[in-house]
Amino acid sequence: MSWTHRIIVATVALMVWIGGCQGCLPVIGAQDRSPGDAAIFLPDDIEDTMRREAARVRDEFHQQARSLFERRPLGWDRRTIDVIYDWILTLPMQVPVFMGHVVEQGRLLGLVGSLMVLAFIGAALYSLIGQRRVLVFVEEAAQPLRTLMPTAIDPYLVSILKILVASLIPLLLWGAFGLISAIIVYRAVWFLLVGRLLKVWAIGALLLNLLRESLTQDLFSVTARYGPQVFRLARIVVLYILVGIGVLWGAEAFAIPSDVLAFLKFILSLSIVGLLFLLLLKKRAFLSFLPEMPYGSYRRFLDGFERYYFAAIFITFLSGLLWCFGYQRLCRVLWIKTWAVAGTFVGLILFYHLVEGGLQKWSRRMTPSDEHGQFLIKSLKNLLLYVTATTTVLLTMHLLGLLDPLQRLLSFPVLKIGLTQLSVWIMIKAVLWLLAFVYLSGLLRASLDYRVYPTLGIDTGLAYALNTFLNYLILGVGFLISLKVVGIDLRILMVFAGVIGIGIGLGLQNLAANLISGFTIVFGRKLRKDDWIQVGDTRGVVTDIYLRATKVRTRDNVEYLIPNAEFISKTVVNYTLTSPSVRIHIPVGVSYTADPNRVRDILLAAAAEHPEALRHNPPEVHFTQYGDSAIHFDLLVWVDIREIEEQRLRSLLYFTIFERLRQAGIEIPFPQRDLHIRSGWVAPEPPRRPLGEQ
């Protein structure tokens, strides 16, 4: 079980326990419960409540399903077609009336207003001709900025400039119209219609230029093959839709009868559905736009979509026809539950893939030894996965219309803890809040280790102490928020503190001692992470300091969990408290026939051959004693205990010393004993006792 899972399980268990104690608090409303009520119990009517809520949700689903098939009237009939036919026949006779209307409006505007409108129309016409000049001017002005941009970003920057420049004229004209309408008090129908048409023009220009740059300029590998073909068809569809919207607004502005207007909307909707259907028949083109991503759920979605593509398009076309004939609610629900859900899923997966790919590239630029950088990447990936997964589930359920019913089904009390009623939905929210704080804590600590602490010059021990404090602080805040979400009164923490005190007095002395020792170690900074220590016979590096125990890893990759109280009550050797440099002793014995000065030179030369020995503290040779069979020397070498193993360097030096002494003809003696035997020796007779003695 991972550390995160342990925290969640412990939190839920603690919530249950705290809720059981909450019945002991004098909370308002507690007098409504009888003294014999249990602190933790299941509601008696839980089964009936579940059944009633499920029935209510089912009835609402049935009612919503029936409302989907309600048809809105089209607003036109056969007489509308006759009216349109008669109007078309009399259209030439309406020209003099229209010209008279234009003259009347010009008289109302006056000379200045007419000149401003004419200048405005002239600028609109000139924009169609001078667009290329403006684009060249902007590209030249942006050239210094492009030199500062990375090469990979330059094509996208150029495309953005093209989109803005190509849309600049309609945007400026739209802004100029707003300025003119603010200067002159003129609210003629046609004048307001011009403003709305300029708005459509500006939006359409942005959309068309965005499609052109993204589909025809090879900015993305997925659009290289079918992009231009799709753009030609999409441009026709977009232009037709924009023109259709302009025609409808013009009809509304000049008070066209409502039935004629409804008929125009019907014809426009029907034609748009047909054009979109023809566009979506390009299966290979649209499937090629979906990028390849190495995720099982996405691959299954892609395979299913490719298999049933034409069925989905045909159903979508039929739903579009139903929309035109008045079943807008049904079609809206169908499109949201299919295309909107699929688009949301693909968009979130693509977002995760792009961000995760960026983190992978960042990770590859780091060295494998950069632990802080790798920890930051890992923390970002964990938070990204949590946010993406949670957002995907919630948005998908919302679009499918299941989030609200599921929340209602899971919101009735399933457990009563004291005065608090818990539901599954509340516990899910509490766990989500706690997980968010867990991932945020890891990200904050990783960011501080990677950027802040090195910039401020904070040493490793203080950084670890601060990180430990922040970790427990953030988790504590997350735990309190989780309790608040559940609905447990936070005053119960006072009772909890009292229970802890009683537990310490009754039998938790060792646990309390380890916890207090843990805080002493963390904030006393006499024992820090990455310190090399020795406790008893255990020597290793401190890898983690927990509140109850400290983890020490030896050079043999054996990990020990040492209770924190051991570091307070026993003597601890910290090799790196002040400096990681330690001196090791290599005793050497040679024959009495050897020259001590020459032996000293050989030992110093042997030490100089090994780069593991520190150069800022030169080695030394001590003449220690005259032995029974040899004269003894002690070679003293300084090493960084974090980088080199003492036993390994000792072995390397012994190999080198043995070879150098052998080459120099210096003997390494061993203990000898000489036995001298004297010949002709007779043992004396024992003394005789005098007669009469017993």
Per residue in 14-50, pLDDT (tens digit) is 444 444 444 444 433 333 444 344 444 555 566 666 6
> What average pLDDT does this structure show over 682-694?
56
Residue 567, pLDDT > 60, answer yes
Within this chain, do residues 569 and 591 fall inside the same structural domain, yes or no? Answer: no
Cβ burial 140-179 (10 Å sphere, 16+ → b, else e): eebeeeeeeeeeeeeeeebbebbbebbbbbbbebbebbee
Residue 170, pLDDT > 50, answer yes
Within this chain, do residues 570 and 600 fall inside the same structural domain, yes or no? Answer: no
Within this chain, do residues 634 and 654 fall inside the same structural domain, yes or no? Answer: yes
Cβ neighbours of residue 42 closer than 8 Å, sequence gap 6 or more:
414, 415, 416
Give the per-residue pLDDT at 603. 87
Give the per-residue pLDDT at 15. 46
Euclidean distance between CA atoms 508 and 500, whole angstroms: 9
> What average pLDDT does this structure show over 192-200?
81
Q: Are 283 and 267 in contact (CB under 8 A)?
A: no
Give the per-residue pLDDT at 351. 92
Model-wide pTM > 0.75? no
Within this chain, do residues 587 and 659 fall inside the same structural domain, yes or no? Answer: yes
Residue 565 lies in a domain: yes
> What average pLDDT does this structure show over 562-587?
80
Closest CA to 185 of 110, 76, 290, 89: 110
Top mean pLDDT of 247-251, 401-405, 458-462, 632-636 is at: 632-636
Within this chain, do residues 568 and 590 fall inside the same structural domain, yes or no? Answer: no
* CATH number of the domain encompassing residue 641: 3.30.70.100
Euclidean distance between CA atoms 262 and 80, whole angstroms: 9
The last residue of one of the domains, among 539, 555, 574, is 574
Within this chain, do residues 591 and 638 fall inside the same structural domain, yes or no? Answer: yes
Give the per-residue pLDDT at 384. 92
Residue 374, pLDDT > 60, answer yes
Within this chain, do residues 544 and 560 fall inside the same structural domain, yes or no? Answer: yes
Within this chain, do residues 527 and 566 fall inside the same structural domain, yes or no? Answer: yes
The DSSP bridge partners found for residue 551 are: 544, 561
553 is written with which tokens?
């890893």
Q: What percent of the chain has pLDDT over 70?
A: 72
The helix or strand, by DSSP H or E, that contains position 46, with its residue range, turns out to be helix 46-68
Residue 558 lies in a domain: yes
Condensed to tens digits (0 to 9), the pLDDT of residues 118-146 reads 665 666 565 556 666 766 776 677 677 66
Give the per-residue pLDDT at 386. 92
Residue 186, pLDDT > 70, answer no
> What average pLDDT does this structure show over 296-316?
89
* CATH number of the domain encompassing residue 532: 2.30.30.60
Residue 349, pLDDT > 70, answer yes
Residue 455 lies in a domain: no
Within this chain, do residues 570 and 611 fall inside the same structural domain, yes or no? Answer: no
> What average pLDDT does this structure show over 674-692?
59
Residue 6, pLDDT > 60, answer no
Q: Are 585 and 635 in contact (CB under 8 A)?
A: yes
Q: Are 554 and 538 in contact (CB under 8 A)?
A: yes
Euclidean distance between CA atoms 424 and 436, whole angstroms: 18
By the 10 Å C-beta count (0-12 exposed, 13-18 middle, 19+ buried), 89 is classed as: exposed
Residue 178 lies in a domain: no
Within this chain, do residues 592 and 631 fall inside the same structural domain, yes or no? Answer: yes
Residue 612, pLDDT > 70, answer yes
Closest CA to 452 of 399, 376, 528: 376
Residue 45 lies in a domain: no
More confident residue, 516 or 596: 596
Residue 629 lies in a domain: yes
Q: Are 217 and 155 in contact (CB under 8 A)?
A: yes
Within this chain, do residues 570 and 642 fall inside the same structural domain, yes or no? Answer: no
Structural domain including 560 reads 523-574
Residue 592 lies in a domain: yes
Euclidean distance between CA atoms 209 and 238, whole angstroms: 11
What average pLDDT does the chain have? 76
Condensed to tens digits (0 to 9), the pLDDT of residues 515-565 reads 667 667 666 667 777 788 888 888 888 887 776 788 888 888 888 888 877
> What average pLDDT does this structure show over 303-312?
89
Give the per-residue pLDDT at 509. 61
Number of structural domains (the chain) is 2
Within this chain, do residues 601 and 560 fall inside the same structural domain, yes or no? Answer: no
Residue 595 lies in a domain: yes
φ/ψ of residue 317, rounded to 5: -65, -45
Condensed to tens digits (0 to 9), the pLDDT of residues 72-102 reads 887 777 787 777 777 777 766 666 665 665 5
Residue 348, pLDDT > 70, answer yes
